[in-house]
Chain A
Amino acid sequence: MNKTTTAVRGPINFLLLAATLLAGSVAHAAELEVIDPWVALSPPGAHATAAFMELRNAGEQPVDLVAASVDGFQVVELHRSIEENGMHRMVQQERITVPAGGSVELAPGGYHVMLIGAESELEEGEVLTLELTLGDGSRVSVEAPVKRREQAMGGHGHSHDNGGGHEH
């Protein structure tokens, strides 16, 4: 984990900010750090690919990732790959919860943002903008470069130990 890309956007107009500060809480977007976002380079003609990242929550409340969008794809969904008794399947997630003071890894073999129906073929090194929507309606925008899996994964296997629900 070397690069840190965090860009916070969203409904931060002064009044809202003042209101939330007065209420003693902060927009969730401000508490969420997105580390090393990347999109897997897909094989030619692939119908789908996935975006991965680590989400860290510095706040005192859990933060939910509830939706994501990326321009240039027909459908973007939150998913989790799970493996049970040697069978792999994907389960769509309504939310991915990042615990207070904790983190969740979106990584191959576990949670991912699934990108379906690219309007044009992805290219290595291209940077996509992911808009993440959080449970309180705030948004985080991150820049995710397109990488080859083996490069992004550093030659390691897929991480069944985080969110993979893997069992033998």
Chain B
Amino acid sequence: MRANRVLLPLMLVMLGLAGCRPDAGDNPLAGYQAPDPLVLRTPEAPMPLPDVPLAGVDGELRSADLFHDRWTLLYVGYSFCPDICPTELGQLSRILPVLRQRLPNIPWQVVFLSVDPERDTPAHLEKYTAFFSEEFIPVTGSRKSIDAITAAVKAGYRIEPHEAGQTTYSVDHDTGFRLIDPDGRMLALLPGPHDPPAIVSALENFMSEVTK
């Protein structure tokens, strides 16, 4: 693994608001406009995630299986993160049960993708995420797999250059929650800061309008 890596963020600016496109076709997002784009933003079209191998608590898994048949809130971070990741995972631990209660027919899951496999082993991630919720699904993977996923959902990150063996480097990362549909396509970005009640109502709204 290379010790030093810079992946320039593909900025979220690219996730422009959905335009009003009347020709819907297979595009569930056509014509959808979030009432509050500061809470939920939809891209022009669904953004498919690639099928790559990932490392989970029970060993290797395919991203196509992980993001299949469920609605996912995906958060990208790293466990060394002392401030933002614990705060965001704490928010997600409050959001998940409320979503399940309000939208009981939708199978929700929260996936935490660590972009720092050098320090975040699956076993470590399991302990880490269980602190917030036993139901969170932590995954990481090879740099190649991580980059394939983060590029597909336009989540930027940058690992601070460091010497091999140094354990205190930090990682800049994207703080958005990403909404992935049961076909493994990203349909919306929920940018931070995350206010759980606002997020729940934005998702309720979105699910009732876009996923009939």
Contacts and interface: CB of A to CB of B under 8 A. Distances in A.
Interface of A: 40, 42-50, 75, 79, 81, 83, 85-90, 108-109, 112, 114-117, 149-150, 153, 155, 157-158, 160, 164, 166, 168
Nearest to A166: B193
Interface of B: 9, 11-13, 38, 79-84, 86-87, 90-91, 94, 119, 124, 127-132, 156, 158, 167-168, 170, 172-176, 191-196
A90 B13 contact: no
Contact of B195 (A42, A44, A157): A157
A149 B90 CA distance: 8
B150 to A, nearest CB: 12
A117 B166 CA distance: 12
Nearest to B88: A158
A90 to B, nearest CB: 5
Given A86-B175, A87-B175, A150-B94, A47 B87 contact: no
A116 B80 CA distance: 9
B173 A158 contact: no
B175 A88 contact: yes
26 contacts: A40-B86, A42-B82, A43-B129, A45-B124, A47-B79, A47-B80, A48-B80, A48-B168, A49-B82, A75-B168, A85-B13, A86-B11, A86-B12, A86-B174, A86-B192, A88-B174, A88-B175, A88-B192, A89-B172, A89-B173, A90-B82, A109-B87, A112-B82, A114-B83, A157-B193, A158-B84
B79 A43 contact: yes
Nearest 8 A-B pairs (CB), nearest first? Answer: A43-B131, A89-B172, A48-B82, A86-B12, A158-B87, A50-B82, A43-B128, A88-B175
